[in-house]
Structure 1
Amino acid sequence: MAGISITKLLIIGALIVLLFGTNKLRSLGSDLGAAIKGFKKAMDNDTPPAEANTEAHAPQVEDKK
């Protein structure tokens, strides 16, 4: 058992296509691509600039005398 050869991968791929069908695999691939694209977009929009972050979330201390 040295590893997975190209012929084993082709057989596994053919079995997957036979089990699920090409339409289901195509829709699954497009859904996965859209999810990854949305995740990347959310990660880029999630980090605010450092200057705005420090001023907006500075704790306010009240003087109690």
Structure 2
Amino acid sequence: MLNNIGLPGLLLIAVVVLVLFGRGKISSLMGEVGKGITAFKKGVSDGSKDDEDEDKTLADGTAARDVTPEAETDQKKV
């Protein structure tokens, strides 16, 4: 159904949206969308940095180490 929408169809939709909502409302909405995308990207990058920091150190400040019993590590290698 939507496979046949070309440039004229998209322009018609844009004009109808502009008439219904007005230029000011659409520009403020796009500004809010941009702020949301920026905040999302910042949150994702901050979260990945926090994960890397948690992987390197434990809550008490000591380095993380593998405490898996040798019997289990032997089974995983096979």
Structure 2 unaligned spans of 5+: 65-78
Q: Give runs of aligned pairs for residues 5-44 of structure 1, distance below 5 A.
A: 5-44=6-45
Match of 2:75 in 1: none
1:51 is aligned to 56
Distance 1:20 1:32 in 2: 16
Q: TM-score, normalised by structure 2?
A: 0.63
Task: Look up the SS of the partner of 2:5 in the other structure.
Answer: coil
In structure 2, what is the Cα distance between the partners aligned to 1:56 and 1:40?
26
Q: Tell me which stretches of 4 or more aligned residues in structure 1 moved more than 4 Å.
A: none
Structure 1, unmatched stretches of 5+, are 59-65
Distance, in Å, in 2 between the alignment partners of 1:10 and 1:43 is 34
Bigger helix share:
2
TM-score, normalization: structure 1? 0.75
Structure 1 residue 13, shift from structure 2 partner: 0.4
| Aligned residues: CA RMSD | 1.9
Give aligned pairs, total. 56
